[in-house]
Amino acid sequence: MDPVTMEEKYPFITRDYLQGILRREQCESAITVDSFKVVAPLAKGENYSSDILRVTVNYTTGSHNHRTQTYIVKVSFARDEDADLLDAYDVFKREIAVYDVVLPKVEQLLSSIGYTKRLAPVTHSIHRTTIKHFVFEDLTLQGYKPVGRTAGLSFRQLELVLEKIAKFHAATAVLYTIDEESMASHHFRNISEDVPHFYPLFQNSVVACGEQAANWPTTKGRIADKLRALEQTIIAKGCRVYTRRESDFSVLNHGDLWVNNVMLKTEPNGKPADVILVDYATGFFGSPAIDLSYLLYTSAANDVTVEDFDLLLQHYHAELVDTLAKLKYGKRMPTLLDIQVEMLRKGHNGVMFSTFLIPLRLLEDTANADLGGLLGKTEEAIAFRKRLFAHPKYQDRMEYLLNFYDRKGYLD
């Protein structure tokens, strides 16, 4: 990244600013920053709602020791069209509420029952005004790395993600019974009748998926026709997913629970050891099936079968009710059957997102992989979407899932 461009685009990242963060983090007022460097660690196509920066800081302690620290800075989009679009969904407001209000209380609840594993990265700074941004710890320093998005998540990796999200879901369900106001920022519906900005994404994607499905052996004809027809009803179905009844078992959903937002730590032999979830910007207080269908349908590796989905849901449910019981949840415990019924009622969420997130996972050339490429009407955007859905590996997973969706009634 050109340093002049960086200074113009992110003027808040200064020596004094970083020095203040280091001094607060390490409780040492004598720290001085000698130099710093800013790079963009993620390529386009890895994040669609913000700019992600890695800042490496060289500094001197009060005892004249020279050290280096790195941070991850998440910044609201500087591009006006993207920023305006995301502002309509209050994504930064919601993520601030997670880190400022929800996570501290969730961690306190979980630590009270002896659970001390991390659910999210440590936040060193949150700025709500001017250029909105977060300063997070760099999880790579603790051995966490992004999961390879093209392969998807293995069965064991999915188990680890579901264990973490079950803890988060359980704690937020309990928290709501104690303090309803803690979820005040998370009743905004991600798909609603009032904010139509992303309608074209879902409608165009299901039609494009249908066009591809018309060429595949087991989906041409009836299933491909259902996908094309779904263009007319997909938004109404999505609105119902994000409609909550007070009598329902509800949790704070992560909201964007897919492979791109999973950081994985492995043992020396390569075995998955732990995961931490990032990017809590689109949380919604509602059915847990919103997260569950999103994760399983968009991010499972090709060798994870629909029979495995049931095993994974069983694993999630066991973690969920165990945590609810330990936290003395005062309402009716959700049964495994309840979770399966919710997957039928709300699983359309995963169907909607899988049509375009699976090809985005597979895409190698991500030059136009941003909101403009997904929603725009320019020649470049149209060409990008055509290339996206024509990916030769799209069929490998999508044809299998479409038959599953059809059997579940999601396409009707």
**Separation CA 104–CA 107 (nearest Å):** 5
Mean pLDDT of all residues belonging to the chain? 91
What is the per-residue pLDDT for 3?
Answer: 47
Residue 246 to residue 331: CA distance in whole angstroms: 12
What total number of domains does the chain contain?
A: 2
Quick one: pLDDT at residue 386? 83
Q: Answer yes or no: is 1 within a domain.
A: no
- What region does 255 belong to: left with phi over 0, alpha with psi -120 to 50, or beta? left
> 37 and 108: one domain?
no
Q: Name every residue whose Cβ is closer than 8 Å to that of residue 233 and which is 6 or more positions away in sequence.
A: none
Q: What is the CATH number of the domain that holds 286?
A: 3.90.1200
To the nearest whole percent, how much of the chain has pLDDT over 70?
A: 92
* Domain closes at, from 24, 56, 76: 76
pLDDT tens sequence across 362-398:
987 665 566 677 777 788 877 888 889 999 899 999 9
Q: Give the residue among 77, 13, 22 at the shortest CA–CA distance from 3.
A: 13
Q: Among 21-25, 244-248, 374-378, which is the least confidently predicted range?
A: 374-378
- The verdict on 302 and 384 lying in the same domain is yes
pLDDT at 77: 61
Establish how many alpha carbons lie within 13 A of residue 259's alpha carbon, considering only the half-sphere containing its beta carbon.
25
Shared domain for 37 and 169, answered yes or no, is: no
Would you say residue 358 lies in a domain? yes
Residue 361 — pLDDT band, cuts 50, 70, 90? very high
- Helix 289-299 and helix 306-326, axial crossing angle in degrees, nearest 10: 150
Q: DSSP letter string over 157-172?
A: HHHHHHHHHHHHHHHH
Q: Taking residues 284-290, report their average pLDDT.
A: 97
Joined together, the tokens standing for residue 316 give: 């999630």
Q: Which pLDDT score is estimated for 81?
A: 54
Per-residue pLDDT tens digits for 214-237? 999 999 999 999 999 999 999 999
Asked if residue 65 is part of any domain, the answer here is yes
pLDDT beyond 80 at 284: yes
Q: Is the pLDDT of residue 92 over 90?
A: no
Q: Which pair of structure tokens corresponds to residue 133?
A: 């941004």
| Same domain (yes/no): 104, 208 | yes
Q: How far apart are CA 353 and CA 226, in angstroms?
A: 17
Whether the CB-CB separation of 253 and 283 falls below 8 Å is answered with: yes
Predicted confidence (pLDDT) per residue in 163-179, tens digit: 999 999 999 999 999 99
Residues 49 and 174 in one domain: no
- Among 126-130, 185-189, 266-270, the range scoring the smallest mean pLDDT is 126-130
Question: Could you tell me which residues come within 8 angstroms of residue 290 by beta carbon, excluding any fewer than 6 positions away?
Answer: 241, 242, 253, 255, 284, 346, 349
- Decide if 144 is inside a domain: no
Q: What is the pLDDT of residue 88?
A: 65
Tell me, what's the pLDDT at 384?
Answer: 83
End-of-domain residue from the set 45, 76, 107: 76
Percentage of residues in the chain with pLDDT exceeding 90? Answer: 78
Among 34-43, 254-263, 273-282, 344-353, the minimum mean pLDDT is found in 34-43
Assess whether 88 and 71 both reside in one domain: no
My answer on whether 42 and 88 are in the same domain is no
| Residue 197 within any structural domain of the chain | yes
pLDDT at 86 over 90: no
Over the Cα atoms of the chain, what is R_g?
22
Residue 374 lies in a domain: yes
Domain stops at, among 44, 76, 108: 76
Report the pLDDT averaged over residues 154-171: 98
Give the pLDDT score at 85. Answer: 62
Lowest mean pLDDT among 40-44, 138-142, 143-147, 244-248: 40-44
Same domain for 196 and 269, yes or no, is: yes
Query: By residue range, what is the domain housing residue 211?
Result: 83-120+151-408
Q: Looking at the domain assignment, is residue 398 inside a domain?
A: yes
Same domain, 91 and 71: no
* Residue 125 domain flag: no
Clarify whether residues 68 and 155 are in a common domain: no
Q: Are 398 and 358 in contact (CB under 8 A)?
A: yes
CATH number at residue 44: 3.30.360
C-alpha–C-alpha distance, residues 305 and 47, integer Å? 27
Residues 49 and 92 in one domain: no
Same domain, 88 and 212: yes
pLDDT surpasses 60 at 50: yes
pTM above 0.95, yes or no: no
